[in-house]
Chains A and B, each alone.
Chain A
Amino acid sequence: MKKNIHIDDFTRPGGQVTELDPAELDPLPPPYDKIDKPSIRKLTEEQRKRMDASLDGIVAIGLTPPKTPEEEKAFIDKFLAGIKKLFSADDNWTFLQPLVHTLEYCVKCQICSDACPVYISSGRQDIYRPTMRPELFRRIVSKYIKKEHPFLRKIKDSDIDLNWQTLARLGELAYRCTLCRRCAQVCPLGCDNALISREIRKVFSQQMGIAPKELHEKGSVQQLRVGSSTGMTPAALKNILEFAEEEIEEKTGRKIKIPVDKKGADILLIHNAGEFLAWPENLEAFAIILDAAGVDWTLSTEIAGYDSVNYGVWYDDFQFARVVIRQSQAAKSLGVRKISFGECGHAHKAGIVVADRVLTGDLIIPRESSLPMLEEIVMSGRIKLDPGRNNFPVTLHDPCNMVRLMGIVEPQRRILRKICPQFREMTPHGVENYCCGGGSGFAITQSTNFPDWRSAVSGRMKMKQILEAFQDVPGAEVKKYVCAPCSNCKGQFRDMFEYYGVWEKSGILYGGLVELIVNAMADLKKPFIQWEWH
């Protein structure tokens, strides 16, 4: 039974703030309306002792409880010192203005709640309201940073009793928001409650050194150390590219040499390194198209130069800046004219938009999305395309970072309208799209039962949208394609489709945009897209 959640529930030591009941989740269409397994695994007793799961029984960061009161006090004091830094123009010039604006001017009107796919999909659980995190945060600021008078706190209802568990719950709660910023888009007052999630994550990372290990230790730290968040070294990259060249020849009969570290090339293309390991057909398709179109391009083997991911954009300003600087340095050392980002949404936003106010001097190298370039190639007729080869139902997923957060809406659609006769939109789409559910690092977060949560809750709205887009052809006998021009979103679809058995039940495959373009190339002897689940 769902209960109203109040701030006191977060500050109460022990227990769990809320328990997710699968029966209360927003229903999916048949055959996905039957719950044939526990939708979210329970933690074991041992896990519960080791990690705090007192928010909702889910673990993304899993803080270890302090052993002594002194440890607890030190933790709280350090956290409060971090919050203070968020309001410093030296430490946090990067987001001071939007942060202050949201904290000061949000009137908690709840318009944003109805726009939030996590809140709706969860069956409207109070803890997932976009206003809940800011409310907790605002109260901490009121009492411990601004030190407002108790009477003022009373009439503003902004009191809070801080303990370690409150902060542990706040930290977890910051990782129940995908940063899709749909809430911010509908706010009539220009507030951005998703940003508060990011700022809370930032305090945990930049001040406390706490972040999900997939984002920090195995993510941005690994990327800065070996070159890629996947752990792939430049030597491994070269092996993978050789394999890709062989595959291209096998699939298309074409001998293509993928250019690497080519000095003076026109374009440095940076892929999400996940493509190299999980979806090599994406980088192969890019190579086939650029080769056929006669584009002068190269890949890099420099640190971060061959991996466009930038997890810092989700939790840490410094890790973010370090990656974009190294990507620009890689381009500079090759002497390319511009950087083009492959199919990765957050890399687009981080590398093209957010990086804009970190790079100065000769590190300002023109950066753009690969989608307009692909559109130009497709529309120019430089490669001969036969839409009949893509005569199956196709829908398009809009990666939030690429679409709502940077306004690249039409190039991918114009391509699909030209090469996919059965293209259909999801509802809503474009800048009003719903997140895949794997945004802000969720797709790579594998901690305990977190993957269950993101398939059952944060990805639920997208799952529903996809099924609705194909409702005229629901059976598995008609093969269908979700075009997701984003590596992160594909990771989420892979896990979520697996979780629900979507390939078996509905015959829906996911993949990138370039695969569809190559699949439509008239002079290829056999289809490029292989209708196999992977």
Chain B
Amino acid sequence: MGTLIIVLTYIAYVLIVVVYTIKITAWLKMPPHIRWDLYPVIHEENYRYGGSYYEQPEWWTKPRPRNTWRSLFYSLKDNFYMGEYYKRNRTYWLCLLPWHLGFIFIITFHILCFFAAVAMFGGLDIAANAPHVAGRVFYTILLLTGGFAFVSGTFGSIGMPIIRLADRGLRTYSMPMNYFNYLFFLVVYGSGLLAWLLLDPTLDEYRAYWLGLITLTPPELHPMTVLHIILFDIFLIYLPFTRSTHYITRILAYFFIRWDDEPNLPGSELEKQIVGLLGRKVSWEGKHIPTGRSWAEAAMESGLPETKKDTP
């Protein structure tokens, strides 16, 4: 069993990294699009009221100060706050936030366990009464992170289907897969919660598990913990095939769509890219579009009946 969870864990982590990378790369590889920005644009100087550089006369002659750090902070903090839900649907937010925090914290917990195992391998004792303060701090952080993940995730997984069923709009748009996800995630978090509360209050077994992973030594674990670890590995394998990539793509959408206010200036790299895109052939069949011509050619024509070229 120990060997199985080691192999399964490695497969799960490799798979999640590979599939996420493929998905994010595919997202980023799509061509630049027409500007479709939406205000407030957070990196703008006057973002507080939604102002843009277009508020200045002859904007192209003026500096366009840009605060990328503010944008990054703004987009990341919402993973921990979910402000729009708080403002607009407080009941939903009360379940949605813990559910999402469950994801973030359980993954953070395992990453921290990895570092704890490395520290243990290096000789650090991690426990409530460890001789070194670092060991005691590490222990406390792990306990808080893991405990919070199990409680929060379990609470969210119970609350989400209830909210979905109770709200007319959400119920209409819920699919069987939503309920399957809530159930599956409840089993994952719930198994972790039970193992923690009933068998492993110090979460010592996770440190042993991660030490086993980095030393390739199958650990001796309680079957309940093993069950949770197997479920968690399946959860990691399943996650990239759900919409969970939105933790990352929502930030990309902010930066590359909603806040993309980069003007196309003569001679810029952007202009070169656009020239390339305008050269692509179009196959639309509307009578006003010259099928088979390039985008630029189609746009240069007036599309009026007398100028319509032969089309299939």
A residues neighboring B (CB under 8 Å) = 4-6, 78, 81-82, 85, 88-91, 93-98, 100-101, 104-105, 107-111, 113-115, 126, 129, 131, 135, 154-158, 181, 184-192, 195, 205-209, 221, 224-225, 316-319, 321-322, 325, 338, 352-354, 356-361, 364, 366, 368-369, 371-373, 375-376, 403-411, 430-431
Contact = CB atoms under 8 A, between A and B. Distances in A.
Interface stretch (B5-13, B47-55, B121-129, B211-219): B47-55
A4 B41 CA distance: 37
Contact of B280 (A4, A90, A185, A318): A90
A206 B36 CA distance: 20
Given A97-B257, A208-B285, A209-B288, 15 more contacts: A85-B284, A93-B277, A95-B34, A100-B30, A108-B174, A322-B303, A356-B263, A356-B264, A357-B33, A360-B271, A403-B39, A405-B39, A407-B40, A407-B51, A410-B49
Given A95-B34, A189-B246, A322-B302, A376 B57 contact: yes
B278 interface: yes
B206 to A, nearest CB: 30
A184 B259 CA distance: 12
Contacts of A358: 34, 274, 278, 299
Interface residues of B, number: 88
Interface stretch (B83-91, B106-114, B138-146, B231-239): B83-91
Interface in B115-160: none
A95 B303 CA distance: 21
B84 A111 contact: yes
Interface of B: 27, 30-41, 44, 46, 49-60, 78, 82-85, 88-89, 92, 96, 167-170, 172-177, 180, 243, 245-246, 249-254, 256-258, 261, 263-266, 270-271, 274-275, 277-278, 280-289, 295, 298-304
A37 to B, nearest CB: 31
A407 B175 contact: no
Nearest to A95: B33
A105 B250 contact: yes
Which 8 A-B pairs have CB atoms at the shortest separation, nearest pair first? A407-B52, A190-B253, A431-B50, A157-B175, A321-B299, A108-B173, A407-B39, A110-B169
A205 B286 CA distance: 7
Nearest to A206: B284
A322 B304 CA distance: 11
B275 to A, nearest CB: 5
B289 A206 contact: yes
A409 B51 contact: yes
A318 B59 contact: no
A225 B301 CA distance: 11
A405 B260 CA distance: 12
Contacts of A354: 34-36
Nearest to B272: A360
Given A101-B257, A192-B36, A357 B264 contact: yes
B264 A89 contact: no
Contact of A94 (B34, B40, B173, B301): B34
Contact of B302 (A100, A156, A225, A371): A225
Contacts of B302: 224-225, 322
B35 A410 contact: no
Contact of B85 (A93, A109, A157, A373): A109
Contact of A195 (B36, B54, B280): B36
A190 B264 contact: no
Contacts of A110: 89, 167, 169-170, 173
B124 to A, nearest CB: 40
Given A224-B303, A360-B274, A410-B55, A207 B32 contact: no
Given A191-B253, A221-B288, A364 B271 contact: yes
A431 B37 CA distance: 12
12 contacts: A6-B172, A94-B33, A108-B173, A110-B169, A189-B249, A225-B304, A321-B299, A358-B34, A407-B39, A407-B261, A431-B39, A431-B50
Contact of B38 (A91, A364, A371, A404): A404
A232 B176 CA distance: 56
Nearest to B259: A190
Most buried by B among A94, A109, A206: A109
A376 B62 CA distance: 15
Contact of A96 (B31, B266, B295): B31
Given A107-B246, A109-B92, A319-B303, A188 B284 contact: no
A155 B34 contact: no
Contact of A407 (B32, B41, B96): B41
A82 B284 CA distance: 7
Contacts of A131: 173
A372 B258 contact: no
B256 A97 contact: yes
Contacts of A409: 39, 46, 49-51, 55
Given A190-B250, A403-B39, A318 B49 contact: no
Contacts of B261: 407
Contacts of A6: 172
Contacts of A316: 286
Contact of A126 (B89, B167, B172, B287): B172
B100 to A, nearest CB: 10
A372 B55 contact: yes
Contacts of B58: 338, 366, 368
Contacts of B295: 90, 93
A161 to B, nearest CB: 17
B175 A156 contact: yes
B173 A318 contact: no
B170 to A, nearest CB: 6
Nearest to A126: B172
A188 B54 contact: no
A105 B257 CA distance: 14
Given A105-B250, A364-B265, A368-B57, A85 B283 contact: yes
